[in-house]
Amino acid sequence: MELQVLVVDDSEFYANHVADALAAHEEIQTTVRTEPRLARRVMSRTEIHCVVSDYQMPEMNGVELLESIRADGHDQPFFLVTGEGSEAIASEAIASGVTGYVRKDGGDDQFQELTNRIINAIEQRQTQQKYELLFDNMPELLAYIGTDGVIRTANPAAREAYGAETLVGRSLFDLLPEADAQRYVAAGRDALDTGKPTRLEGPIGDRQFSQIYVPAEIPGEPPMFQVSARDVTDRREAQQKLEATVEKLAESNERLEQFAYVASHDLKEPLRMVTSYVQLLEGRYADQLDEDAQEFMDFAVDGAKRMQAMIDGLLEYSRVDTDGDPMEPTPVGEVVSDVRDDLAVRIDDADATLTVDSLPTLVADPNQLRMLLQNLIANAIKYAGDADPRVHVSAAERDETWVLAVEDNGMGIPASKQEAVFDVFNRVHERGDESGTGIGLAVCRKIVERHEGEIWVESTEGEGSTFLASFPKAADTDREATVTASETTGVGQRGGVE
């Protein structure tokens, strides 16, 4: 990058001498003017990075030129060169804010030093400009504040947050409620004392801000701290709305579960009476009923039994969250072994084969884990179709979870029904010998969700299904072998569903 330096001196000879000396550096290009008014014109039309000016000139001296340039809105580094080395001139130059002060009688070596100082000053100004651009345009509030709470400088975002056109020189105690001002000043002082950031959240105006306080030690300046803050009002309001919605949903679910429990519980007794009296009529007057009447009676008894099964299932569903046992390390292999014993008659009647891989120990509710596996294995046997049921139970380790799989060779589930299969009262196979209550898999999902896992099915219609359930790993559980594949009880892909 070429650096443009403007040299101003009423002596054209000396101006060119200085310009030639500076231009010896490959990065510097020079422009010479012998009159201050012409120099100001150049400043308004050309990008100038630095000004080197003589002090004593007929039209105005160098300090007056500096002041006029600053009045025109220019803040480039300004070096003053003078042949008069009086203390008065030096004091005037320093007071006016010149970047550097050089005497003409310093010899040629002074120009090498001046060149280095010019390059350093320009680089510092460019860095400052970048910082100021970032400071002024960043969306976050940024301010420097003294330990007394008085604001030293602040960006536009801070002015907008505080609702003030100017903040410099104003105290937090004048801008905020006293409690908030005390809290924020204390956070800044704590950052200065510890040398570590202090984080907090609080109001500024009518908005909420996430704030970070850090030490800001500037040489020659009194102690101060920097605060940067981001408006989190919308995020906080959204979070509060979400929390309120979740709370309402939880209350709604609790009421629904309570209703399901009460309704199903209260229905059991009248339904039992209906079933009993229908069966009593069938037993007492069977020889007086014709074929149609007997068929009607069978329909009534069957309907009552199905209703009883649905009520029992609904009660079971409503109790998953409310009546669950504490979680504890549970060997899954032992649970499958118990389920095999419970289903022994059904397995024998269906000529089913149940095989089991080595299974892990999970932190789970033992009774609910047993209910889950019993539902899945029983369904696999029930919906086997015409083939002899083959059911296989396995487990796979995936990152932070264990995934249990129950695979069968059954009827399979259409792709269009695989997501809805876990909904309450949803049946894949309607009526006939394969009909169910439509609650079993809903209970399975509720059990898995209580264990903070997920359940899903992978299936090909006519080829079988695999039901998979994930469970979080426990840090202290070990994988263990429980039931071997040689023991009778079986798998493939799950065919059926409830």
Residues 362-418: pLDDT tens digits?
999 998 999 899 999 999 998 887 888 999 999 999 888 999 999 999 888 888 888
| Element holding 374 (H helix, E strand) | helix 366-382
Angle at Cα 290 formed by Cα 288 and Cα 291, nearest 5°?
A: 140
Residue 247: its pLDDT value, please?
85
Distant-in-sequence, close-in-space partners of 228: CB < 8 Å, separation ≥ 6: 140, 141, 142, 211, 212, 214
Q: Which of 15-29, 67-81, 186-200, 483-497 has the lowest mean pLDDT?
A: 483-497
Per-range mean pLDDT, top range of 244-253, 273-282, 335-344: 335-344
Per-residue pLDDT at 256 = 67
Q: Distances from the Cα of 237 to the Cαs of 207, 208, 244, in angstroms?
A: 11, 10, 10
Ranges 99-108, 218-227, 453-462, 485-494: which has the least confidence: 485-494
How many helices and strands in the chain, by DSSP H and E?
Answer: 14, 17
pTM recorded for the entire structure: 0.46
| Whole-Å CA distances, 314 to 219, 443, 457 | 75, 9, 22
pLDDT given at position 257: 66
The conformation of residue 221, written as its DSSP 8-state character, comes to S
Give percent of the chain with pLDDT exceeding 90. 43
Contact 176, 149 (CB under 8 A): no
Phi, psi of 203 (to 5 degrees): -85, 145
The string of pLDDT tens digits covering residues 247-261 is 888 777 776 666 666
All residues at 6 or more sequence positions from 364 whose CB lies less than 8 Å from its CB, including other chains: 327, 328, 330, 451, 471
Tally the residues of the chain. 498
Q: What is the mean pLDDT of residues 194-200?
A: 94
What 8-state DSSP symbol labels residue 163?
A: T
What is the rounded average pLDDT for all residues in the chain?
A: 83
- Asked if the model's pLDDT at residue 88 lies above 70, the reply is yes
pLDDT at position 287 = 79
Share of the chain above pLDDT 70, in %: 84
Read off the pLDDT of each residue in 98-120 and give the average, rounded to a whole number.
82
Taking the CB of residue 205, how many other CB atoms lie within 10 A of it? 15
Q: What is the mean pLDDT of residues 316-335?
A: 80
For residues 160-167, average pLDDT: 90
| Neighbour count for residue 375 (Cβ, 10 Å) | 22
pLDDT for 3 beyond 60: yes
